[in-house]
Structure 1
Amino acid sequence: MAEYNAPLTDIRFLLNDVFNCQTKWQSWPALKEQVDSDIAEAILEEGNKIAGGLLAPLNQSGDSQGVVWQEGKVKTPQGFKEAYQTIAEGGWLGITGNPEFGGMGMPKMLSVHFEEMLYGANNSLALYLVLTVGACLAVDSHADNKLKQQFLPKMYSGEWAGSMCLTEAHAGSDLGIIRTKAEPNSDGTYSITGTKIFITGGEHDLTDNIIHLVLAKLPDAPAGSRGISLFIVPKIWVNEDGSLGEFNQVNCGSVEHKMGIKGSATCVLNFDGSRGFLVGEANKGLMYMFTMMNYERLSIGIQGIGCAEASYQIAANYAKDRLQARSPTGVKCADKYADPLLVHPDVRRMLLNMKALTEGARIFSTYVALQLDTAKYSQDKTEQKKAKDFVALMTPVAKAFFSDMGLDACVLGQQVLGGHGYISEWGQEQLVRDVRIAQIYEGTNGIQALDLVGRKVVANGGQYVAEFVVEMREFIEQQQSEAMHTYLKPLQNAIATLEKVTAWVIDKSKNNPNEVGAASVEYLHLFGYVAYAYMWAKVVVVVTHKSDKDNAFYDAKLKTARYYFNKLLPRIYGLEQCIMAGSEDLFSLDDEQF
């Protein structure tokens, strides 16, 4: 069984040293009384115990058992229900929830790391938890007070779970063509009829009830995405007094048989005249659901980080222990029949790629969480506006780049183990299978790239990117030490490349709309590599000012940062050439030539 240990030292370093979270939390009135250093440390420590001690031991058994569907009911793998209940009893589903309805009210800067721990330990079980948290966020953000009071306390407590019901067989990314109908009833409720597919946690035995957030169309709804409304549809009807009533005709028709995340129930749900409540105003459902979707997109990006970290831990330990051949520079372990794998340059390349990209992603996820917290809690309107712009810009990058690099890292981790990486007992092949879905669900990474380039770059003339560039350049101007020069010059060049490519895409798209889609994936990756460089530079500033620079942790940070700047950041220049080659070659073949 593969073990998992949360990277607590790295997490503490980011929160306390790099981003100075305590000062920020104390400056925001809404958080000042909610969280301090002792509470934060307790959450991290307990999160590590939950991940490593409770979830990780169920990961491989959950994969081998999978979920079982029988006559509309879903049974989760052995141990999942007990683990879920333990987590629920600890209040973890309400970690960032509204305290008015029983949530803990913790900042996102803490919850992103807890989520990474969950994914690193057990992807399938983590999904039930994060879907409920996301559903709570949508209800708290858009439902009226009566609905909040009716549903949030039981969801925060973990007594009830949540799901997100968007996709239909004919409508994946194009939600404007959904067919699920909502007919008004005389009592103010609505009758929901239709079928949804790919519903994560749509049916299971973990909780007494599941609160489905369902997109549907009213009879007089406008065509397309402007006519979508959002409804709360409980699996079991909830009476006025909060007690559970009758079954609400939410029927699970089947579960999908999948490549990975086999302990997570991916369901076909049939709403057969199920009763529901309208959330907010009619025909604004897609906007409301995006509150949950954007949360889930960041969370699924973090799935990539968690899997990459778990894979790295397995691979690094294996490379230190496995003896194979001798070092190219001569014998290193004369008392043994061979040297460890770690002496070989290509093994070190794979491990350092994993380490630099995974730690870079963790810095960036903390930074994005800071923007979310700033947008929510800051009293400074200018600061709040800038943070909201950054969240809009960076959410598709976080989802897609984290998960793209997460898969790459897991494949490398598997490769380090060679044949053993292909064998189930080591855990690497499961990580490859589990993390693969992160590039697909919650909006495929191609859709994320289109969102980034089309809506967040071209549509506003590069305004958000320009704001981010200003921040990065201001950071560079503040760093004048000789020790930073090695990092600042390549960062300056990378920023200039990002600006150049951004201007090129905006200009070319004016006359050829295909340029947006042609450039989008490479542009997102280029943006990701530049953002990671900025993150690594922020880390280097902190480390170079440490008085105990000989500390192995800080020394490793400097060396990993140097590796990133020398070996990984230069990838942007190849991406630049791909982008600026334009869209012509993509459309040179006739359809029948494919």
Structure 2
Amino acid sequence: MADYEAPLREMRFLLNEVFDAPALWARLPALAEAADPDTVDAILEEMGKLAANTLEPINRSGDEEGCSWNEGVVTTPQGFAEAYRTYSEGGWGALLGNPQYGGMGMPKMLGVQVEEMVCAANISFALYPVLTNGACLAIDAHASEALKERYLPQMYSGEWAGAMNLTEPHAGTDLGIIRTRAEPQDDGSYAITGTKIFITGGEQDLSENIIHLVLAKLPDAPAGPRGISLFLVPKIQVNEDGSLGERNGVHCGSIEHKMGIKASATCVMNFDGAKGWLVGELNKGLAAMFTMMNYERLGVGIQGLGASERSYQSAVDYARERLQSRSPGGAAAPEKSADPIIVHPDVRRMLLTQKAFIGAGRALSTYVAQWLDIAKFGEGDEQVHAEGMVALLTPVAKAFFTDKGLDCTVLGQQVFGGHGYIREWGQEQLVRDVRIAQIYEGTNGIQALDLMGRKTVANGGALFQLFADDVQAFIDQQSGNAAMAEFIQPLAAELENLREVTAAVIDAAKNDPHAVGAASVEYLHLIGYVGYAFMWARMAAVALEKQDADAFYRSQVQTARFFFARLLPQTAALSKSVLAGSDTLMQLDAGLF
């Protein structure tokens, strides 16, 4: 398998030329000083090295060895502890953290590029710091000042890690029926008792302590999701002076044996009267946890993006070297026994599909991160606007990135032919590793329901209109640019179709209780394709002016043309499926399946 090389040119192109991130950061006071161009560039460069030289080399061995469990003790694969120490000593856990507690306060637009590199190099490793980052975000947003001061500095430093505990054996999507209980104690703490499953990094040998965020209910809590509270439960209790004290009543009952991400410990966690502390308000824990969940959902989407990039790099390298048959247009390498397979149209179709989805996905992740930065650091109407955009686009990013992530890794595997099915080439591991991304942090079907139901139908399309307005503004801006007509005209047509489909589902939902569920997955893919078209049009607008001087820009323009010609037409089928309604889905009797 080809060595991983961080796509720094593509990342810099997006940050500096497509989105002009430095201009945004300069006008946001909290970012103006921290995110200076030289610092940002150095961070990208250093993570590229760390991903390629430290994280990627233990990816395959980590998969082969996996995590082990012995009487409650979890051991990660060889090399992971050393890599985690290197990662932490480099300050990477503090990158997006609050400077008041030792964080660097960097923008999310930079953060998503860093996350992609870590995920491309080693998804299993990435999960440990990503869960810690999410836990820090929830603590910073909702916990008391005392809890922030006690826990955040050590979590940013990597000395302590984080984990989130939601799912129970009987309660996955429907968290309102959780059974974990929290009993108030005289000292202001709570005794937490219950069992949680599928807990990433619930136990490991990487950090001195693990800080669990746990959803639980008080004995007198209201029924359903309105009765859920959030608690901070350390694996090892923390003394008043910040030192570690006694072991808390938190233990790992077992770890799961999984299809992929085998170097990530997925734990069953038992809480036996463990001492915990309330985060946020009583009975409002679900809202507090969603601060973390929404962060993780974009992060999970980036896992799909990272795996796609890793698969693509290896597939391109293989296609350039593998000799099979002659080009339909005549021998491309007459001095050799056959031509490299990259000359064949179907191989080029697979590689270009990967390249087009990856490029648009990276751009859309940066676009979403831009709105996250404005939502966090902006003010007034601009901040409210950004929050609406984040709400709409988060389920799209999570689900569409990961659906296309699986598609892209399968394409990369297919380029290898039989060798793609063999362990030593690495492609089969990427397929296995990325598959979970469509499932955890809310399955992609649930993301689609969220997008269609809560984020679109429930508000009469108000959030959708924010996105549509932004696309329309770009179309209007480019309307006089003849060179951009090949992209602007189809983008305008797709936007109008999306508006019509959105309005049709909103109208259908007034009388059909199944309308939202029947339309949701295809609708999410439809808005995903239009979002990707918007991104490629924005990239093309920059690249067209520079393509004569630099092959990189020519590549961007040609990939944009491929996307518009060969991939975007799938919106026609998706639209027809959405508009078909719910009848054919719901008429078949359950006993006839």
Tell me by how many angstroms 1:2 deviates: 4.7
Point out where structure 1 has 5 or more consecutive residues left out of the alignment. none
Match of residue 540 from structure 2: 540
Q: Does residue 556 of structure 1 match 2:555? A: yes
What per-residue deviation string (whole Å, max 9, x for no partner) do you get for residues 157-190 of structure 1? 0000000000000000000000000001111110
Distance of 1:250 and 1:436 partners within structure 2: 30
Q: Does residue 338 of structure 1 match 2:338? A: yes
8 Å contact 1:2–1:427 — kept in the other structure? no
Tell me by how many angstroms 1:455 deviates: 0.3
Match of residue 116 from structure 2: 116
What per-residue deviation string (whole Å, max 9, x for no partner) do you get for residues 510-562 of structure 1? 1011010000000000000001111111111111233x633110000000000
Q: Does residue 448 of structure 1 match 2:452? A: no
One-letter code of the match for 1:418?
G
Match of residue 45 from structure 2: 45
Distance of 1:280 and 1:495 partners within structure 2: 40
8 Å contact 1:81–1:205 — kept in the other structure? yes
Match of residue 426 from structure 2: 427
One-letter code of the match for 1:93?
G
Distance of 1:494 and 1:95 partners within structure 2: 38
| Structural mapping, 1:515-526, within 5 Å | 515-526=515-526
Distance of 2:4 and 2:140 partners within structure 1: 33
Tell me by how many angstroms 1:382 deviates: 1.8
One-letter code of the match for 1:563?
F
8 Å contact 1:543–1:549 — kept in the other structure? no
Corresponding residue SS for 1:510: coil
What per-residue deviation string (whole Å, max 9, x for no partner) do you get for residues 276-311 of structure 1? 001111001000000000000000000000000000
Match of residue 138 from structure 1: 138
Q: Does residue 9 of structure 1 match 2:14? A: no
Distance of 1:293 and 1:549 partners within structure 2: 44
Match of residue 262 from structure 1: 262
Distance of 2:454 and 2:5 partners within structure 1: 39
8 Å contact 2:192–2:272 — kept in the other structure? yes
Distance of 2:399 and 2:513 partners within structure 1: 22
Match of residue 589 from structure 1: 588
What per-residue deviation string (whole Å, max 9, x for no partner) do you get for residues 173-217 of structure 1? 000000000001111110000000000000000011000000000
Tell me by how many angstroms 1:34 deviates: 1.1
Corresponding residue SS for 1:164: strand
Match of residue 283 from structure 2: 283
8 Å contact 2:65–2:77 — kept in the other structure? yes
Match of residue 206 from structure 1: 206
Distance of 1:552 and 1:474 partners within structure 2: 29
Match of residue 472 from structure 2: 473
Q: Does residue 511 of structure 1 match 2:516? A: no
Distance of 1:159 and 1:3 partners within structure 2: 30
Q: Does residue 102 of structure 1 match 2:82? A: no
Q: Which runs of 4+ in 1 moved over 4 A?
A: none
Match of residue 64 from structure 1: 64
Structure 1 window deviating more from structure 2 (479-488 vs 467-476): it is 467-476
Corresponding residue SS for 1:192: strand
8 Å contact 2:2–2:317 — kept in the other structure? no
8 Å contact 2:210–2:236 — kept in the other structure? yes
Distance of 1:3 and 1:169 partners within structure 2: 40
8 Å contact 2:544–2:554 — kept in the other structure? no
Corresponding residue SS for 1:193: strand
8 Å contact 1:351–1:413 — kept in the other structure? yes
One-letter code of the match for 1:359?
G
Distance of 1:348 and 1:2 partners within structure 2: 18
Corresponding residue SS for 1:231: strand
Distance of 2:348 and 2:91 partners within structure 1: 41
Tell me by how many angstroms 1:474 deviates: 1.4
Match of residue 391 from structure 1: 390
Corresponding residue SS for 2:549: coil
Corresponding residue SS for 1:233: strand
Tell me by how many angstroms 1:378 deviates: 1.8
Distance of 2:299 and 2:217 partners within structure 1: 28
One-letter code of the match for 1:184?
P
One-letter code of the match for 1:26?
A
Match of residue 171 from structure 1: 171
Distance of 1:232 and 1:384 partners within structure 2: 29
| Structural mapping, 1:53-92, within 5 Å | 53-92=53-92
Distance of 1:275 and 1:2 partners within structure 2: 48
Corresponding residue SS for 2:158: coil
One-letter code of the match for 1:397?
V
Distance of 2:375 and 2:146 partners within structure 1: 26
Distance of 1:41 and 1:34 partners within structure 2: 12
Q: TM-score, structure 2 length as denominator?
A: 0.99
Match of residue 375 from structure 2: 375
8 Å contact 2:112–2:369 — kept in the other structure? yes
One-letter code of the match for 2:124?
S
Corresponding residue SS for 1:53: helix
8 Å contact 2:2–2:313 — kept in the other structure? no
Distance of 1:281 and 1:342 partners within structure 2: 58
Tell me by how many angstroms 1:428 deviates: 0.3
- Number of equivalenced pairs: 592
8 Å contact 2:52–2:121 — kept in the other structure? yes
Structure 1 window deviating more from structure 2 (30-39 vs 434-443): it is 30-39
Distance of 1:470 and 1:68 partners within structure 2: 51
Tell me by how many angstroms 1:75 deviates: 0.2
Distance of 2:127 and 2:406 partners within structure 1: 18
Q: CA RMSD in A?
A: 0.7
- Percent identity between matched residues is 63
Distance of 1:277 and 1:143 partners within structure 2: 9
Distance of 2:33 and 2:473 partners within structure 1: 32
One-letter code of the match for 2:570?
R
One-letter code of the match for 2:573?
G
Match of residue 156 from structure 1: 156
Distance of 1:469 and 1:131 partners within structure 2: 32
Match of residue 307 from structure 2: 307
8 Å contact 2:235–2:249 — kept in the other structure? yes
Distance of 2:386 and 2:51 partners within structure 1: 31
Distance of 1:143 and 1:339 partners within structure 2: 62
8 Å contact 2:203–2:210 — kept in the other structure? yes
One-letter code of the match for 1:407?
L
8 Å contact 1:166–1:196 — kept in the other structure? yes
Match of residue 218 from structure 2: 218
